[in-house]
Amino acid sequence: MLMAYDVVIVGGGPAGLTAGIYSARRKLSVLLLERGLVGGQLQVAHEIGNWPGMKSVNGMELASSMEEHARSVGVEFLLDEVVDMDLKGQVKKVKTREKTLECRAVILATGGQHRKLNVKGEEAFIGKGVSYCATCDGPFFKGKAIAVVGGGNGAVEEALYMGEVASKVTLIHGGSALSAEELIQDKLRKKKIPVLLDTTVEEILGKGFVGKIVVSTRGKRGEIPVEGVFISVGQVPSIQAARKAGVELDGRGFIKVGRDMKTSISGVYAAGDVTGSIPQVAIAAGSGALAALEAYKHVKSLS
């Protein structure tokens, strides 16, 4: 089935949703493609405290509000996965598992996937004590001792959330200082959650289920008994389809864009975490808005 639009947006996180809202308000026909949950990483954010105008908002609630806003201005949604893209001509083709879409501009807002530690035992215990989402799996660890690995906002927020669920939480970070915002670190101190700095996880052990982790602190090895390990060490950009279509990447593997969010291919834009920007909702939304405005100029130039 062939479907034609002015703009096709690949990715339904805050960048993609904002791009959709801005595009539709400019009276462009817009389809937003999402292979998972609309909202992206918002869906697993327990609390967001830096979204302008809201002192605190649950990630799922913000995602739902953004989706409702996008639908209200005419954005169409399709839950499907992109398998191929032909982006070279004036008419772009985006192929999913079920449809072929034609459009005049594409906005790539594909975000990323959870980065793994790549340590022994990690793969073996996924779903058996190893998790990458506290708000998804946290309730299974009620009353248990767990470790959270990471030092950014996401890791600290996961530790705070698990502090309300688990019997004991230990935050482990390989650096000499946490990189999370100071206000979030203040909450961590108030909760008296222990933090191990200059510490790396070397191995995850257990019998059928996680039982302990081997750590190294400044070269000194030790063991910590835990029944769960929550890993929050950033993301790997989802660029497979873009790379296959010839979109240029930067030296870190993210989609290369200019200040106007243009990629190396005319009529193709990128926004949000997939560009290697700071992973914040406000920044993703801002880049999505800019990408949409530039896409609008491009579409109108072809009229």
Distance between CA atoms of 103 and 120, rounded to whole angstroms? 45
Percent of the chain past pLDDT 90, that is, above it, reads 85
Identify the domain boundary among 231, 246, 281. Answer: 231
pLDDT band, very low/low/confident/very high, at 207 (cuts 50, 70, 90): very high
56: how many CB neighbours lie within 10 A of its CB? 9
Q: How high is the pLDDT of residue 40?
A: 87
- Answer yes or no: do 14 and 93 share one domain: yes
- Answer yes or no: do 8 and 109 share one domain: yes
- With left for phi above 0 and alpha for psi between -120 and 50, is residue 277 left, alpha or beta? beta
Range of the domain at 7: 2-113+235-301
CATH code at position 186: 3.50.50.60
For residue 80, give the amino acid letter.
D
Q: How high is the pLDDT of residue 1?
A: 58
Report the sign of the C-alpha dihedral through residues 58, 59, 63, 66, in that order: positive
pLDDT, mean over the chain: 94
Tell me how many domains the chain contains. Answer: 2
- Answer yes or no: do 132 and 277 share one domain: no
Greatest Cα pair distance, the chain, in angstroms, is 66
Task: Examine the pLDDT at 202 and tell me if it is beyond 80.
Answer: yes
Task: Examine the pLDDT at 166 and tell me if it is beyond 70.
Answer: yes
- Answer yes or no: do 71 and 211 share one domain: no
Q: How high is the pLDDT of residue 296?
A: 98
- Answer yes or no: do 215 and 245 share one domain: no
pLDDT band, very low/low/confident/very high, at 279 (cuts 50, 70, 90): confident
- Answer yes or no: do 260 and 217 share one domain: no
pLDDT band, very low/low/confident/very high, at 49 (cuts 50, 70, 90): confident
pLDDT band, very low/low/confident/very high, at 243 (cuts 50, 70, 90): very high
Identify the domain boundary among 231, 246, 267. Answer: 231
Return the active site residues.
133, 136-137
List, for residues 113-135, the tens digit of each pLDDT value: 889 999 999 999 999 999 998 88
Radius of gyration of the chain (CA): 21
- Answer yes or no: do 47 and 95 share one domain: yes
- Answer yes or no: do 183 and 289 share one domain: no
Question: The whole model's pTM is what?
Answer: 0.82
Interacting residues of 248 by C-beta distance below 8 A, sequence separation 6+: 255, 256, 263, 264
- Answer yes or no: do 240 and 99 share one domain: yes
Distance between CA atoms of 175 and 153, rounded to whole angstroms? 14
Identify the domain boundary among 173, 205, 231. Answer: 231
- Answer yes or no: do 265 and 287 share one domain: yes
- Answer yes or no: do 105 and 239 share one domain: yes
Helix (H, G, I), strand (E, B) or coil at 41: helix
Among 2-16, 33-47, 161-175, 274-288, the least confident range: 33-47
- Answer yes or no: do 124 and 105 share one domain: no
